[in-house]
Amino acid sequence: MAHHIDSSRNSCALHGALQVIEAIEGFVPVVHSTAGCGAQHYLGVNRLNAGSDRFGGSAISSSNISEKHVVFGGSSRLREQLKNTVKIVEGDLYVIVTGCATEMVGDDIPAMNKEGRDQDFPVIYANTPGFRGDVHQGYQLAIKALIEQLPDLGKAEQPPVKGLVNILGIVPRQDPFWEGNLEEIGRLLEGIGLTPNLLFGYGQGVSGWQRVPDALLNIVVSVWGDAPALLLEERYGTPHLSLEGLPVGAAAGRFLYEISELLQLDSRRTEHFVQSEERRFDAQLAALADTWYRAGFQREFTLVGESAQVAGISEFLSGTLGLIPRTLIITDNPPEYAREALLSRLTSLLNGFPTEVSFTEDFAEISDLVRSASASLVLGSALEEAVAAELEVPFVQLSFPLSDRLVLARGYAGYRGASTLLEDLGSALLSDRHHNPVHQQSSAALGCS
Amino acid sequence: MSEKKQGKHIAIYGKGGIGKSTTTSNISAALADAGYRVIQIGCDPKSDSTTILRGGNDLPTVLDTLREQSKVKIEDVSAVGFGGVLCIEAGGPVPGVGCAGRGINAAVELLQELHLFEEYKPDFVLYDVLGDVVCGGFAVPIRDGIADRAFVVTSSDFMAIFAANNLFKAINKYAPSGGARLGGVIANSVQAPYAKALIDDFTGETGTSVVGYVPRSFTVSQSELYGQTVIEAHPKSEQADVYRNLAKYLDTNEDSVIPKPLNGPELKKWARTWGDRIFEVETGVVQKMESI
């Protein structure tokens, strides 16, 4: 039955598409919609995750259509906006993205796109009205447009790249640590002799996207990378490997061995690399041991986040650290087939400790679930801050939206990400003034009351 | 809005080409001739509703004017036609572009903002709305606060009946929340021997009634060619009296109903029985108590 959603953390398809375009260097979005769509994207997404993009956020090209464009059609307004954008902003690729109003009216976007092409503008378009779905659909629609239309623009001569693999399924900004996560996955792949095609973030531009068809393999981190991977398989026969979650800590090693076997890479090199990574991480775990006991790391936790985050982080926290997963709340509305897989994988993470797994994006429902789970650690988004405070338990913000920290390079993927997660978790436990024996002891030693 | 409403607001719907504009214009002319202040608003992107009231002269549409100038005055978008009827055309986008439904919405809103009705103080406002009620925009005149009653023009052709049935569905949806109710059905181009009986049967099935039968007439065609209504060109003709009677009905009768539209299979079944009956008439099968 239909019901209202309180404070959803999933914005609309147009925003998902913008998040894709803004995360690629040299790509310039042109929004064909009402003025509020661009503003809402800035206020509801960019500003919440600290920082703006080179071209995007509050300074975004938008046709800002009004009633007369709805009545008489807004195609000519888009034509004008595209021309102006090309004059003012230098870009390698201009991407027209549409909102609800212009799609309802039925503006002929392909015709305007063709006009732009006829004038030698490097332009493509994606139909991304919010009524087609949420931010995750927008991510998929924008990538589909890139895969389908970028080849029409021709390809600059590029030297062939050996062992190229594309990384799909990390939605920029919807995963607040998208850039750090991509970089760490890239570092791991390099470690076993592959060339990662990160596609998003620093240094990632049109040439990487033009190389997408040349990849040996598509690595799919979340369910949101499935559709693009299937499209690439259909068009170019590229196989894909689904990680079904962020590889955190030991999971990264398993994933590297799997790829190594699949692509028949040098197994000794892979083993050597994974072992060196694990030794480094094990040394950190050993250094943590004393604090682990004193600060009471082992406790029940509630985790709220997107499916890829929840799967990867809960497996790491329970499998490696021995924390007890009480309640896991998945907020990105994964499709039915993925839900079943997640349920069977996450409900029995620890023997003898049943874990409750819920799918919801409703703020009130999530708060109620967190409250009734009453775990002694809450990991979630800024929206869970209040209920964590109510429970008087340590709280770590790690899913969208974040409000209490600036994210530039931080990520939770891989071995390095696992270290970062330990640091963040440890800091939250150590700074818990109400219950932390370590804090009380050191305060006493310092003569504080 | 309704407490400020001036005059009787009536929306006239029907399939494209069925004679809505001709019927509406002749009713407007007859009402004006009888001394009433009348406004006729064409709600159709074709913007030819009021042509025969204005001798075929051009009239800038509300939406075209709105597109070109930010401030629109009533004088810019209206013309006084036969008998003092104030003629307005909402207009709309070129075919295949934009959203005509939103256009009607915007035009009607603008006319309200300009206090057209308070200032002109009409006795009657007739909205001539295009063809089928294909989306929400075209239902604007029958939603809360605009027209009090809707009439539908139909012939005995199935597609015209189909469009009428669609309008009934729209009225059925909006009337309970304050939208217009159905005033009745105007049977137009009545010529075939079975036409009257077929339309009567349809209204019977849907809980509605026919308020006037307009026979197919040479006088109408000839007047239209002169860019005039029958009331103006042939005021003494029988056809002029037919329109006068319709105008009189609108003036003196306040009856309205919420129609009971037929659903898809019911309408098809109803149509098939009439197909059989017409075939029997044409081929000479005589049935007991046959009325056609």
pLDDT at B104: 87
The pLDDT tens digits for A250-285 are: 999 999 999 999 999 999 999 999 999 999 999 999
Domain identity same for A307 and A420:
yes
Beta bridge mates, A236 = none
Which residue has tokens 């804090």? A439
Judge whether B72 is closer than 8 Å to chain A, CB to CB: no
Mean pLDDT of A238-255: 95
Is B20 among the residues known to form the active site? yes
How far is Cα B272 from Cα B261, in angstroms, rounded to an integer? 17
Subunit contact A70:B99, Cβ cutoff 8 A: yes
**What is the average pLDDT score of chain A?**
92
Tokens of residue B112, six digits: 């309200």
State what percent of residues in chain A have pLDDT above 90. 79
Token pair of A368, please? 């109620």
Answer whether A70 sits within 8 Å of B102, measured CB to CB: yes
Residues A327 and A425 in one domain: yes
Coil, strand or helix at A147: helix
- Name the phi and psi angles at A113, rounded to 5: -65, -40
Q: What domain range includes position A131?
A: 13-153
What is the pLDDT of chain B when averaged over all its residues?
90
B248 is catalytic: no
Q: ipTM score of the complex?
A: 0.74
- The CATH number for A236's domain is 3.40.50.1980
Pick the range with the lowest mean pLDDT from A56-65, A171-180, A328-337, A412-421.
A56-65
B99 to chain A: which residues are within 8 Å by CB? 70-71, 73, 104-106
Cα–Cα distance, A51 to A19 (Å, whole number): 13
One domain for residues A251 and A308: no
What CATH number does domain B2-282 carry, 1.20.120.160, 3.40.50.300, 3.40.50.720, 3.30.70.270? 3.40.50.300
Contact in structure between A232 and A186 (CB atoms under 8 Å): no
Q: Which residues of A touch B94 (CB under 8 A)?
A: 72
Distance CA B162, CA B160 (A): 5
* Average pLDDT of the segment spanning B176-184: 91
Q: Are residues A263 and A298 in the same domain?
A: no
Whether B106 contacts chain A with CB within 8 A: yes
SS3 A71: helix
Average pLDDT over residues A93-111: 94
Angle among Cα A174, A176, A181 to the nearest 5 degrees reads 110
User: Does the pLDDT value for residue B145 go beyond 80?
Assistant: no
pLDDT value of residue B212: 95
CB contact under 8 A, A73 and B63: no
In whole angstroms, what is the distance from residue B194 CA to residue B171 CA? Answer: 27
**pLDDT confidence of residue A358:** 97
Mean pLDDT of B276-289: 72
Q: Are both A295 and A384 inside the same structural domain? A: yes
Tell me the C-alpha distance between A64 and A68, whole Å: 11
Residue B58 or residue A329, greater confidence: A329
Instruction: Decide if B46 is catalytic.
Output: yes
Residue A42 has pLDDT above 90, yes or no: no
Residue B1 has pLDDT above 50, yes or no: no
Q: In the predicted model, what is the mean pLDDT of residues A375-380? A: 96
**pLDDT tens, residue by residue, A333-344:** 999 999 999 999
Nearest-neighbour CA in chain B from A70: distance (Å)? 6
Q: Would residue A192 count as lying in a domain?
A: yes
Residues A241, A243, A249, CA angle at the centre, nearest 5°?
Answer: 135
Task: Determine what percent of chain A is predicted with pLDDT higher than 70.
Answer: 93
Min distance A353 CA to chain B CA atoms (Å): 54
The structural domain count of chain A equals 3
Least confident stretch, A140-144, B35-39, B93-97, B121-125: B93-97
Q: What is the mean pLDDT of residues A122-142?
A: 97
Kindly identify which residue of chain B lies nearest to residue A108, measuring between CA atoms: B97
Same-domain check for residues A319 and A247: no
Establish if B100 touches chain A: CB-CB under 8 angstroms: yes
Mean pLDDT of A63-68: 93
Establish if A110 belongs to a structural domain. Answer: yes
User: Do residue A148 and residue A169 come from a single domain?
Assistant: no
Q: Give which of A139, A56, A62 is closest to A101, Cα–Cα.
A: A62
Check B44, B128, B132, B148 and give the catalytic one. Answer: B132
Of the candidate ranges A256-265, A344-353, B2-11, B207-216, the one whose mean pLDDT is the lowest:
B2-11
Distance from CA of B134 to the nearest CA of A (A): 14
Backbone angles phi, psi at A214, to 5 degrees: -85, -5
Same domain, A203 and A228: yes
Closest chain A residue to the Cα of B101, Cα to Cα: A71
Mean pLDDT over B191-205 rounds to 93
- For residue B81, what are its two tokens? 């036609």
Asked if A71's CB is within 8 angstroms of B100's CB, the reply is: yes
Kindly name the residue from B8, B15, B128, B196 that is annotated as catalytic.
B15
CB B52 within 8 A of CB B227: yes
Distance separating alpha carbons of residues A370 and B107, to the nearest angstrom: 51
Chain A contact for B92 (CB, 8 A cutoff): yes
Q: Tell me, yes or no, whether A242 and A113 share the same domain.
A: no
Residues of chain A with Cβ-Cβ distance to B134 below 8 Å are: none
The alpha helices in A197-346, defined as continuous H runs, are 206-210, 226-236, 250-262, 267-294, 307-319, 336-346
Closest CA to B197 of B268, B254, B273: B273
